[in-house]
Chain A
Amino acid sequence: MASKFWAASSSEEESEEEVTTSEEETSSDEGSSSDSDSSSSSSSSSSGSSRKKGASRFLMGSSDSESEDERRVVRSAKDKAYDELRATCNEIKNKMHINDWAAIQTLFDKLNKQLERTQKVTQSLGVPRAYVRMLCELEDFLNKTLAEKPKLSPTNTRALTRMKQTLRKHNAAYTEQMRLFRENPVSETEEEAPSSSESESEESGSERELNTEEEEEAKFKSVRTGVVQRPKDKLLTMDPKEITYEMVQKKLQEIAMARGKTTRIDRQEQIEMLTYLSGVTKGPVQKLEVLINVITVTFDMNQPTQNAMTVPNWNRCAQTMFDIMVLLDENRHITLTDTPPEEERIEEPEAGTPTQVWGNLGAFLERLDDEWNGSLKALDPHANEYMERLKDEAVLLALAQKVSDYLQAHNELDKLAGVALKRIQHFYYKTDVVYAAMRKLALQRQQDSAEAPEAPTAALDAEVVDGEEAEGATELIVVKIPHDFNIPESCAELVEQLARVVYAHGNDNQKGQAMLCTVYFRCIRDDFYGARDTLLMSRIQEQTGQLDAKMQVLYNRTIAQLGLSAFRAGLIFECHQCLMDLYGTGRVKELLAQGIQQHRFQEKTPEQEAAERRRQVPFHMHINLELLESTYLISAMLLEVPAMASSQSTDVRKRVISKPLRRLMDNYERQSFTGPPENVRDHVMAAVRSLATGDWRRAYSYVTALSCWSLLPQKEAVLGMLRNKLQEEGLRTYLLAYGRFYSSLSIAQLCDMFELPERKVHAVVSRLIADDGLPASHDQPTGTIVVHHVEPTRLQTLAGTFSDKASLLVDLNERALAMRTGALHTDDDDGDGRRGHDGAQGGRRTRLGGRLGGVGGFGGRGGRGGRGGRFGDRERGSGFMPAEGFAGGVFGRGRGRRTSMQRDSNFTELGQFGGSARRGRT
């Protein structure tokens, strides 16, 4: 279209002009908005102020402006946004010339979108002057067109009427700016003569310098908030005595109505208003309402999914919560309810009458807790701020205690369970040392706040008196910890007590979480058996697939700790069982939510990534991955190396115990040159190679060289245990690998080689002979081991192979038949194929029984149920008896099947969030 071409070229010309004037325009716009209370000062003069040299200029710059010459070199995002905006304005102007209302309409929409973007980029809520001008022009033109009623096409007429409506609605928000603009359309002349603006602004700049310091100060403040300053509310200027209940209530309602409506409200201002109101309320009920509103408004100031609450805001919330708690404590007749009151109060209820006020302390606390966690995630864990922030935990705990006291007193048990769970979540990962330190800190802080009780309130008062300084004052808020906050000496008791509360009143999810937390808690206190039994009792491992991501993470963390605890206790097999699935997937970081892993074959959508980021565990709760990896690999090594030796010597292919370890070994062997070990894997690989030849000493030295052992408080004991295990497994490996090359071995020599007492060697050898089929026997009088191994002849070997193949063939045939006839033969270990059908059915039934038991708590198969429920009469576990409804109430297969249970748990499906990662496993 010709017109389009023309329009494009013209807009280009004009936009160039615009670029030069943009600076003045925007800044003048800022100025005009800032000067709304003193409208006498012209926009041109205020534009000069932005160019003024000195400190205030840089402060102003924080909102939007940059120096002109700089902008010419590099076009920042801001400038680009402005330019685009302006280009659209020009286009609209062009369309106005040809009366193309349909185009105007679309362009207007585009303009509004651009405005939004501009505001985002410049991080100000101010409106560029160009936009206001456009609005004015559009309005004028619209009125003109309506008055003239020119002949238009139907589409255009329709667009015109629609435009009329939109504009009317839209302009309502900008009446103030438009009025200002119309009063003072100087910039329009500026536009006509852009060259003059330079000198003009220079002049005004010098003029401006004469202004007093105070004025500048005031300007800075208002500019920074970046919104139109509303005329000061008359409430603030009124004599506090004259403020009635109704007035406060009205104001409150106004604020409540504004909630969630638009982003254009200055929440800071609302808070100032509310804090002021809280000082002039007419009674505890109203004060409570005001305080609750303070909290909700503060909560609205950030979006929890995007960024965390600022520390001052957080502190304010916490302090307000404390105030609420005190207030509630003093006025026992007031209770909080979830449902908002149906009719509003007209006057303060009389003291002593039971009153209900809207508010949910549990939810507030939860949000506060989330925000605290969120802010921790946003901070650099190695910086000092992180530590500072961590110290606020005491505040949170004190608050939680207060809230749970309140909930207990008012018998709100379901919420109480939620709060108890939150409290557990602050304790469960703390070792005794950490807990003691935290306790000390909390007590210290409590003492401090007791000594200086007036300071924070003074700060609050100051805020009330001078709303302008609110921002400064909030920085000063130091949350007091009330004097009656007590943090018990023994963490274990506290956790158990809280867990009881959750078990008694919580829902399934909460109970599960509390249970996992207690298991974790026991793990880090080296109570492996207690932890394992509690975990198995809950049967949670059967439902890991159905858990939500957060709980899966918790589950994985618990399992990891269980493994570590087993390792410390010297239970290598159990340790390997626990950690196997975690490491089998190769995505440990993701499973433990301790960092984002990138995968080669899998692209994550931004949503997935954001979700993952949100799940992350704060740094201070992390499980050391290096330690975990060493633990896993070493336990795998201790199990795998003798197994490998045995399979090599007997030609029987045994099951691979640890796939990750095997993979590492393959990699290692493929390398042509191997340097000295550097990381955990290198070390373990080196140890594996030494141990495979029975050289336990070198293996031990490699293992001890790992730095992560220093993280263990009981380092010596663990290393001693490792040494023992290495000696034993070294002996086993040695005998299995090289036994057949001896006709007899002296026990004394073996003792010497492996530095083991004779009794131990005897026991190890005996077990090898009896269980693992080492073809040897003791000769007691001479103290030797006689090996009976006879190498089979070639014919014998071949015959053996043949018979193996034949039996394999029969097996396969049986399976094929079973498939055909419908009954799938699933039981691999069952060598006897004839039992296939029954076996498979039986297996299925067991599984089903387990499910039933799991879901219904108890029922279905009574026997199964009967075998479960380890809690009941156990003293040790008595506190951990979730109610019957708890899905994990029974532990189905009994402890006899423990190992197999762990093997076939759904564990591997863990953390395959959204089911997307299944293919990783297959």
Chain B
Amino acid sequence: MAQYDLTPVLAKHLDRHLVFPLLEFLGTRALYDAADIEAAKLQLIEKTNMVDYAVDIYQQLNGTDEVPESLLQRRVDVVSKLKSLESAVKPITEFLSNEDNVKLLKQDKTQNQAFLLKEFQIGPEQVDALYHFAKWNFECGNYSAAAEYLYHYRTLSTNPERTVASLWGKVAADILLQEFGSAMDDILKLKELIDVDTFAPVAKQLQQKAWLMHWSLFVFFNHESGLNALIDLFMQDRYLTAIQLTSQHLLRYLAVAVVVNKRRRNVLNDLKRVVAQEAYEYSDPVTEFVRCLFVDYDFDGAQAQLAKCEEVLENDFFLVAAKDAFMEAARQFLFENYCRIHQAISIRSLSEKLSMDEEATEKWIVNLVRNARLNAKIDSKAGTVVMQTQTLSAYEQLLERARGLGLRTLDLSNAVFGAMRA
């Protein structure tokens, strides 16, 4: 199953800190050797400022109580740096800690700048220091502080590049704090910024889009309206292209979102097309399932893939929660498509295809029929489901064809009259 694990691919597009939850999750699965994961964590953390944690992991990994010299040294550095930064941002943090002061700030940033300089002697250097301090906090794992400072920084800063960077930082911090509501808002803000910035080099734009999509996974799969938002974002032309160009593996998440989301059947065709197009670049059980079912009509293949999907979803940090919903929806899809082209199906073979026992299958079908999603009857004597095929009669076909002709003609005549009058 490790072959379908996307963590290494995803990690390329994520912040160090964001990879951490993925590794934690992997630690709970038996996909990889535990020591390997710990080693990976250590490697990950070495570059951050979470020195104490690094020490812990190191000791755990090597089974010693020793602390390596480099980490000790690093700890001293980190602390001293923190001290110096703290002193630099002191005026501004003091200013911000007072609720009333914050209320004094206006919408206009330049005005604020002048105001701060005049009233509190807070110049651009201090504001910059705030940014660095927030970053430092983030690196230390102090996400809530980082999020707060970044929020204030954004209100004060006039540097557009830094503002974007701080927004990224804010999103990361929110995600790590599991505040998905605000993260969602920030993601949308970020998206706007990225979409507006059309003059950046193409490669950079692509990269930013890819990042945004990867980061948003955290949010979308944890937010209640996340799946809808995910489909909205990923199915946008530009983002879909970005997926096709740089990160085809995201198709897995898109496919799951589409399959699970019953109300968004209209995007299914797009999904089919993209999956079929990218089959040579990327395929995993989920996309293969989509391909088998919707493109090739290979039900046995789809069935086999579905079985694999279960395992894949189980081992995917983002999808593990959506597993049951997906399996259910996928089964429904399978069955629906199967029924569409069949006149009579034996319940036995159906139960095999759906990997349920006969009783459960029958019950399941009855439920489907009752919900009026299917026009079918069960012939319990023969043990079959009989579909009521509804071919359009010639009369209906005719109606279908002529529909709208009247309205169109009316429009036409109106237009003619309008033109004549004008």
Q: Which A positions have Cβ atoms within 8 angstroms of B?
A: 529, 759, 762-763, 765-767, 769-770, 775, 777-782, 786, 788, 790, 792-793, 796, 799-800, 803-804, 806-807, 810, 813-814, 817, 820-821, 833-834, 858-859, 861-863, 865-874, 881, 884, 889-890, 894-896, 898
Contact = CB atoms under 8 A, between A and B. Distances in A.
B242 A810 contact: no
Contacts of B415: 817, 821
Contact of B389 (A781, A788, A872): A788
Contact of B246 (A759, A779, A868, A873): A873
Contact of B341 (A769, A804, A881): A769
Given A759-B300, A781-B382, A820-B419, A803 B202 contact: no
A877 to B, nearest CB: 9
A865 to B, nearest CB: 5
B4 interface: no
Contact of B412 (A790, A803, A813, A889): A813
B202 A868 contact: yes
Interface in B93-143: none
B405 A796 contact: no
A865 B398 contact: no
B296 A806 contact: no
B341 A788 contact: no
Contact of B419 (A769, A821, A834): A821
B408 A833 contact: yes
A766 B340 CA distance: 9
16 contacts: A762-B299, A767-B297, A769-B340, A778-B341, A778-B342, A790-B394, A814-B408, A814-B412, A817-B416, A821-B415, A834-B411, A867-B238, A867-B242, A872-B202, A889-B202, A896-B274
A564 to B, nearest CB: 18
Contact of B206 (A861, A872, A889): A872
A765 B338 CA distance: 12
Given A814-B412, A870-B245, A863 B391 contact: no
Contact of B405 (A807, A861, A867, A869): A807
Given A777-B342, A820-B419, A872-B203, A803 B297 contact: no
B240 A896 contact: yes
B405 A810 contact: yes
B384 interface: yes
A813 B384 CA distance: 52
A781 B246 contact: no
A894 B412 CA distance: 36
Given A769-B340, A833-B408, 8 more contacts: A770-B337, A777-B343, A780-B343, A796-B395, A814-B408, A868-B202, A874-B246, A895-B244
Contacts of A762: 297, 299
Given A781-B382, A896-B237, A770 B344 contact: no
A779 B342 contact: yes
B341 A766 contact: yes
B398 A800 contact: yes
Contacts of B280: 529
Contacts, number: 161
Nearest to B204: A872
A111 B416 CA distance: 80
B379 to A, nearest CB: 10
B336 to A, nearest CB: 11
Interface string B207-247: 10110000000000000000000000000011011101110
Contacts of B262: none
Contacts of A834: 408, 411
A792 B393 CA distance: 9
Given A777-B387, A868-B202, A870-B245, A804 B409 contact: no
Contacts of A782: 344
Contacts of A781: 344-346, 382, 384
* A762, A870, A872 interface centre (most CB from chain B within 10 Å): A872
Given A803-B402, A873-B246, A770 B199 contact: no
A796 to B, nearest CB: 4
A258 B342 CA distance: 90
Contacts of B202: 858, 865-866, 868-869, 872, 884, 889-890
A778 B344 CA distance: 7
Contact of A804 (B237, B241, B401): B401
Highest count of chain B CB atoms <10 Å: which of A793, A862, A863, A866:
A866
A859 B201 CA distance: 9
Nearest to A769: B341
A862 B198 contact: yes
B384 A770 contact: no
A811 B300 CA distance: 45
Nearest to B383: A781
A616 to B, nearest CB: 36
Contacts of B209: 866
A14 to B, nearest CB: 83
A813 B373 CA distance: 41
Contact of A874 (B245, B300, B344): B245
Contacts of B408: 810, 814, 833-834
B367 to A, nearest CB: 21
Contacts of A821: 415, 419
Given A759-B298, A763-B296, A894-B241, A865 B205 contact: yes
A800 B401 contact: yes
B59 interface: no
B261 to A, nearest CB: 21
A792 B244 contact: no
A780 B345 contact: yes
Interface in B389-422: 389, 391, 394-395, 397-398, 401-402, 405, 408-409, 411-412, 415-416, 419
Contact of B397 (A800, A814, A873, A894): A800
A779 B341 CA distance: 9
Given A759-B300, A865-B198, A894-B241, A799 B398 contact: yes
Given A763-B298, A863-B198, A803 B398 contact: yes
A500 B267 CA distance: 40
B162 interface: no
Nearest to B384: A781
A568 to B, nearest CB: 15
Interface in B355-397: 382, 384, 387, 389, 391, 394-395, 397
B345 A796 contact: no
B244 A896 contact: yes
B90 interface: no
A763 B409 CA distance: 43
A645 to B, nearest CB: 19
